[in-house]
Amino acid sequence: MKNIKKIGIITGGGDCSGLNAVIDGVTKSAIRKHGLEVVGYYRGYHGLLNNEFMELDLKKASGIMHRGGTILKSSNKDNLFNYRVQNEDGSFEHKDVSDVAVANMKKEGVDALVVIGGDGTLTSARDFYRKGIPVVGVPKTIDNDLPATDVTFGYNTSLETITDALDKIHTTAHSHDRIMVVEVMGRNTGWLALEGGLAGSADIILIPEIPYDINKVVEKIKERDSIGKNFSVVVVSEGAKPKGGEVTIRETVEDSADSIRLGGIGDVVTHQLQKLIPEHEVRYTNLAYIQRGGITSQFDRALGLQFGVKAVDLLMTGNAGSMVQLRGRKLTSIALEEVVGRGETGETSVGGAKHVDPNGQLVETCRAIGISFGE
C-alpha cells in the first residue's frame, strides 16, 4: 500500500526460538523489497504503550537468525485493551489504553504493525485492526496448538530439545534401572509430548487428549520388567490429567492474558508410581523453560524467515487484518477475525486449540510400536 512508509514489529507472549528469524525476514524484506523504514517495539505491547522502540536496519537484523528468544524482548502481561493501572489510592482497575498506543504510532509516523505472537497477542492485533491500524499477524507458539496453521515456528526447535534430553535421560534410566518421569510443556495439547516422546523412545506418553489410568501405567512398566527391560521413560505433558480428574495448576497470574499456568503433573505421577512400584526408584525431571530457548533449528529459521517476508507482502498488497499461515508446503493467509475469538457477526471462529487426535496417525504409530498412553 502506497500510504505505508514505516512499519513496527511487536513480539508478544512467551519467547521461543525463531522469533529473531521473523524479525530478520520482516526487516530485510521491508527495506530491500519495499523501501520501508522499520522499528521494533520493546517488550511487546508494553513498548507500544510507552513508545519504547529501536530503529531496525540491515545491520541490526544481520546475524540474529540463529539466536533464540527475541532481540526486542517480550511480555505477556500487557493487554492494552484491558490494562491494569494503579489509582492514586493504591487500588487497581483495568482500562482501555489502546488510544495511547495509537497516538504513539502516529507521533513516530508508524503506519502499520507486524505482530508476532500467540492467542492473546493476536487477539490484541485483531482489536488494533478494528481501530483502523493496518496489522498482519504471525503465529508463534512452541505448543503447535494454533488450528489456523499446520506448524508454528519454535515448535521444531523445542522438539529437538526434548528429544536430546530424552536421549540423555535414557542413559541414566538404563544404568540405574530407574523409572524416569519427564514433564514437558504443551498447555492443554499433547503435541510436544507426543512427537518428542516418539522421537526420544519414550515407553509411556501421557497427554491431555487421552486421560490416563495410573494403574495402566504401572502395568506397562511391569510388562517391560518381565522382558528384562528394568527401566522405563515416562513423558508427561503439563496438561495431562487422570481419568475423571483435573489438570494440575502450578500458579495463577492475574495480570497475564494466559493466567492459568499448568505444571507439576510429572511430580504427581512420580509420587504415585513410587508408591505403587516400590521396588523401583522413580525420578522426576521437568524440562521447563529449556524448551523455549537455544539455537534455532534449520526448520524454524527457514519458516520464520518466510513468515516474516510474507507478513510484509500482505501489508503491502492491501491484506491487513490477516495472519500468515502454513498449509501443506504453501504460505497463505487467514483473517484474524477467524483466528481469535469471534467475528463481528458473533459466528464461532476457527480459533481455539488444535488438539491431538487420539486415533490419529501419530498416536496409532506409537501404539503399534508398544508405547503406552495409560489407557
Active site residues: 143
Quick check: 80 and 96 in contact, CB under 8 A?
yes
β-partners of residue 8 are 39, 113
The full DSSP string for 160-228 is HHHHHHHHHHHHHHHHHTEEEEEEE--TT--HHHHHHHHHTT-SEEE-TTS-B-HHHHHHHHHHHHHTT
Q: What would the grid cell of residue 367 be?
A: 501404539
d(CA 345, CA 337): 10
Q: What would the grid cell of residue 257 be?
A: 492474558
Residue 301 has a CB neighbour count (10 Å cut-off) of 23
Burial track 4-26 (b if 16+ CB lie within 10 A, e otherwise): beebbbbbbbbbbbbbbbbbbbb
d(CA 25, CA 303): 10
Q: What would the grid cell of residue 60 be?
A: 541490526
**Greatest distance between any 2 Cα atoms in the chain:** 72
Q: What would the grid cell of residue 214 be?
A: 495410573
Rounded to an integer, what is the distance from CA 199 to the centroid of its chain? 20
d(CA 249, CA 264): 7
C-alpha pair distances (Å), 142 with each of 13, 158, 181, 345: 11, 6, 21, 31
Quick check: 100 and 49 in contact, CB under 8 A?
yes
Length of the chain counted residue by residue? 375
